[in-house]
Amino acid sequence: MIPASSGTGLPVAVNGIEIEVIRRGAGRPLLFLHPGIGIAPEAPVLDYLAEGVEVIAPSHPGFGHSQLPATMTHIDDLAYFYLDFLETFDLREVIVVGVSFGAWIAAEVAVKSTERISRLVLADAVGVKIGDRTSRDIADIFAMTDTQFAEMAYHDPRVGQRDTTALSEAELLTMARNREATARFGWIPYMHDPKLKDRLHRVRVPTLVLWGESDRIVTPKYGRAFCDALPDARFELIELAGHFPHIEQPETFARRVLSFAGEAGVPVTAVKRASA
C-alpha cells in the first residue's frame, strides 16, 4: 500500500530502491511521470487531477530525493522500474500520464506491457527520432542558458525564470540532481531511444497525445508525428502553453486528462468537478 501524502513526498521502496511519492485523491489510479525538471508537491496540476482520480506522482530514481542505483543507466531501466512499481503496489487499470522526459518513460513502459494500464497520456514527449540523421528533432537543452531554456520551453518565459540565489540548499540540490539524472538517461543518444519508434505499434491502449502549442523544445509537428506512430491515438493542442502545459495551463491540462480518463470509466461527476 502506498502511503497517503498531501504535502511532501513520502518514501516507498521498490525492489530495495527507495523513492519519494506524492499521493492524493481517490478513485481510479493515475500514475503521473514528471518531466526532467521534477515535480513539486504543491504543483496545482496535482490537486486538479486529484479531484477526479487517485494521483500517484513518484520522483524517478535519481530525481528529487529518490535513490539511484549505480546499475540504472538507461531509459529501459526506468521503464522496468515502473513496471515493478505497478506490480509491487498491485495497481490495475492505471491511467499513465507522462510529460516530456516522463512521457518518454511512459511510452517505454507501454511498449513492454500494458497489462496494468487502461489509458496513456503523452504530453510534449521526447524519446523518438522523427527526422533524418542530419535533422535535430529535439532542442539541445544542455547547450542552453537558463534564460534561453525558458524562452524555448514556455509560452510565457517568465513562468520558467527562477532566482537561484533565493533558493534553499535543499532546492538547489534537487535542481542539480534532476539535471544530472536527465543527462544520465538522455545524453547519448540525445533524448531518444533509436528503437522506440518501431516499437510504438505495441502500445495497445487508447492514447492521448497532448502538446503545448508554443513548445519550441519539441514542436507540435514532432508531436503529430509521434502520435501518427501510435496505433490508437489522438492529438490535441493546448493553447498558451509550451513544453510544460501542466505548469502553464494546469486546469486545462487536468480537464483534458480527466475527460479522456472518463472514457475509460472514471465517474463523469469527477470530470465535471475538475472542469468547473
Q: Which three cell numbers stand for residue 178?
A: 534532476
Handedness of CA 110, 260, 36, 127 (dihedral sign): positive
DSSP string, 194-229: TTTGGGGGG--S-EEEEEETT-SSS-HHHHHHHHHT
State the pLDDT at residue 275. 39
pTM for the model: 0.93
Q: Which structural domains are found in the chain, ordered by start?
A: 5-275 (3.40.50.1820)
Strands (DSSP E) along 67-219, which ranges? Answer: 94-99, 117-123, 207-212
Q: What angle do CA 7, 8, 10 make, to 5 degrees?
A: 115
CA distance 119 to 30: 9
- What residues pair up with 55 in beta bridges, in sequence order? 24, 30
Q: Which residues pair with 235 in a beta bridge?
A: 209
> 151-176 burial, b if ≥16 CB within 10 A, otherwise e?
ebbbbeeeebeeeeeeeeeeeeebee
The pLDDT profile of the chain, 276 residues, written as one tens digit per residue, is: 676 554 567 899 999 999 999 999 999 999 999 999 999 999 999 999 999 999 999 999 999 999 999 999 999 999 999 999 999 999 999 999 999 999 999 999 999 999 999 999 999 999 999 988 888 999 999 999 999 999 999 999 999 998 888 999 999 999 999 999 999 999 999 999 999 999 999 999 999 999 999 999 999 999 999 999 999 999 999 999 999 999 999 999 999 999 999 975 555 344 444 433
Query: For the CA atoms of the chain, what is the radius of gyration?
Result: 17
Contacts of 34 (CB under 8 A, 6+ apart): 57, 59, 60, 63, 99, 101, 102
